[in-house]
């Protein structure tokens, strides 16, 4: 079982024991302002480490930014025993893990997720990635972090919308993997701490069974085929979309496709959709299939020239490698757009 969840104390101990020749902290301008001081409070020895700052947002997951980071490493003669601490949300964790995994064929890295989304999802499980032009996460590896430190003190620094953004992944993992968790979650019976803890343990269980995503792990992509395509469309847009928002819309559409393929009954489909809409309640953006199409056709899960999706089979149960036609996606988008207009 992969379990690389750790603590500030253990990190401090390792650094004091001189395991690392140099320590860098990767952050964005927000986490530099709000989270670095908290981190220094927790692990004072880190005040002497080097800070690398990137702009917040998806556009930092680019090659140009990676080159800047690697050049900084080289200029500072960072060697194989260098540690990179990724302090931030999904973007910082994805980007930092990617840079660490390639530099000199891999240096150690610690993820300290500061957003709900990164705590529940991005920082856990070893996937990293950057975008190629606006094809999301087209490049990456699977490489487990040395350790991951989860602390809810960082959540206080976040706007409320970020909490909801992260909650989407909790809803997703409940829906694909744990009926009871889905019930508790949707009836508002859990604290934020409990939600984070349960979501992480479910994700780690799935990742441990299939770390390199040969099979089972694919179910974590529920909502993400449409979700990633939406994000790709919006990357260069003035109007921004959050990852959680995109996956939320993706889940509604992919639940409809699960129903079209008779994997779930009409009653379950209606109930799941209604629950998602009422519990998460993001504004639904109108979706055009034509704009999504190039990204759907390049989705990482595809094979045999077909779009492959994760679909629901029940509450807490999902299957993967379902070939889905553009017609089926179109039908689901029509259904979705009708709700969007109605809202």
Where does this chain bind a copy of itself (CB under 8 A)? Answer: 21, 63, 67, 70-71, 74, 77, 79-81, 101-106, 127, 129, 132-133, 135, 137-142, 212-213, 297-298, 300-305
Residues 6 or more apart whose CB falls under 8 angstroms from that of 50 comprise 22, 23, 24, 25, 72, 76
CA distance 145 to 83: 11
Residues 6 or more apart whose CB falls under 8 angstroms from that of 7 comprise 149
Closer residue to a copy of itself, CB minimum distance, 212 or 239: 212
Strands 130-132 and 135-139, sheet pairing: antiparallel
Radius of gyration of the chain (CA): 20
Q: Shortest distance, CB of residue 304 to a copy of itself, whole angstroms?
A: 6
CA distance 228 to 35: 28
How many other CB atoms sit within 10 Å of the CB of residue 290?
7
Q: Shortest distance, CB of residue 327 to a copy of itself, whole angstroms?
A: 19
Q: Shortest distance, CB of residue 5 to a copy of itself, whole angstroms?
A: 23
Closer residue to a copy of itself, CB minimum distance, 81 or 193: 81
CA distance 28 to 92: 7
Closer residue to a copy of itself, CB minimum distance, 8 or 135: 135
CA distance 55 to 47: 21
Give how far Cα 223 sits from Cα of 49, 124, 144, 254, Å: 39, 18, 24, 6
Closer residue to a copy of itself, CB minimum distance, 322 or 336: 322
Q: Shortest distance, CB of residue 159 to a copy of itself, whole angstroms?
A: 31
Closer residue to a copy of itself, CB minimum distance, 77 or 191: 77
Q: Residues 186, 279: contact at Cβ < 8 Å?
A: yes
Closer residue to a copy of itself, CB minimum distance, 102 or 277: 102
Q: Shortest distance, CB of residue 111 to a copy of itself, whole angstroms?
A: 17
Q: Shortest distance, CB of residue 157 to a copy of itself, whole angstroms?
A: 31
Closer residue to a copy of itself, CB minimum distance, 79 or 330: 79
How many other CB atoms sit within 10 Å of the CB of residue 45?
13
Q: Shortest distance, CB of residue 158 to a copy of itself, whole angstroms?
A: 28
Enter the tokens of residue 38. 């908290």
Residues 6 or more apart whose CB falls under 8 angstroms from that of 85 comprise 11, 23, 24, 25, 26, 39, 46, 49, 96, 109, 110, 112
Q: Shortest distance, CB of residue 74 to a copy of itself, whole angstroms?
A: 6
Closer residue to a copy of itself, CB minimum distance, 233 or 272: 233
């Amino acid at each position: 079982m992969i379990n690389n969840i750790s603590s500030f104390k253990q990190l401090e101990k390792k650094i004091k024991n001189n395991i690392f020749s140099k320590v860098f902290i990767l952050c964005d301008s927000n986490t530099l302002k709000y989270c670095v001081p908290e981190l220094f409070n927790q692990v004072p020895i880190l005040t002497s480490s080097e800070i690398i700052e990137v702009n917040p947002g998806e556009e930092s997951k680019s090659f140009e930014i990676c080159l800047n980071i690697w050049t900084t490493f080289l200029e500072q003669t960072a060697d194989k025993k260098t540690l990179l601490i990724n302090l931030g949300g999904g973007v910082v964790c994805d980007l930092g893990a990617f840079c660490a995994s390639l530099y000199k064929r891999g240096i150690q890295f610690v993820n300290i997720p500061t957003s709900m989304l990164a705590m529940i999802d991005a920082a856990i499980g070893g996937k990293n990635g950057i975008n190629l032009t606006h094809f999301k996460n087209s490049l990456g590896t699977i490489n487990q972090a040395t350790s991951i430190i989860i602390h809810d003190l960082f959540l206080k620094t976040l706007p409320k919308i970020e909490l909801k953004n992260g909650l989407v992944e909790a809803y997703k993992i409940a829906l694909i993997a744990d009926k009871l968790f889905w019930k508790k979650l949707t009836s508002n019976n859990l604290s934020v701490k409990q939600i984070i803890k349960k979501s992480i343990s479910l994700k780690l269980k799935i990742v441990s069974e299939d770390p390199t995503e040969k099979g089972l792990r694919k179910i974590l992509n529920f909502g993400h085929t449409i979700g990633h395509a939406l994000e790709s469309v919006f990357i260069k847009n003035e109007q921004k979309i959050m990852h959680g928002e995109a996956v939320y819309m993706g889940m509604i559409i992919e639940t409809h496709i699960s129903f079209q393929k008779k994997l779930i009954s009409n009653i379950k489909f209606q109930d799941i959709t209604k629950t998602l809409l009422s519990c998460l309640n993001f504004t639904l953006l109108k979706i055009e299939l034509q704009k999504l199409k190039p990204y759907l056709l390049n989705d990482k899960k595809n094979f045999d020239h077909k779009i492959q999706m994760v679909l629901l089979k029940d509450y807490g149960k999902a299957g993967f490698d379902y070939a889905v036609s553009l017609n089926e996606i179109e039908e689901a988008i029509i259904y979705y757009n009708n709700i969007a207009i109605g809202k």
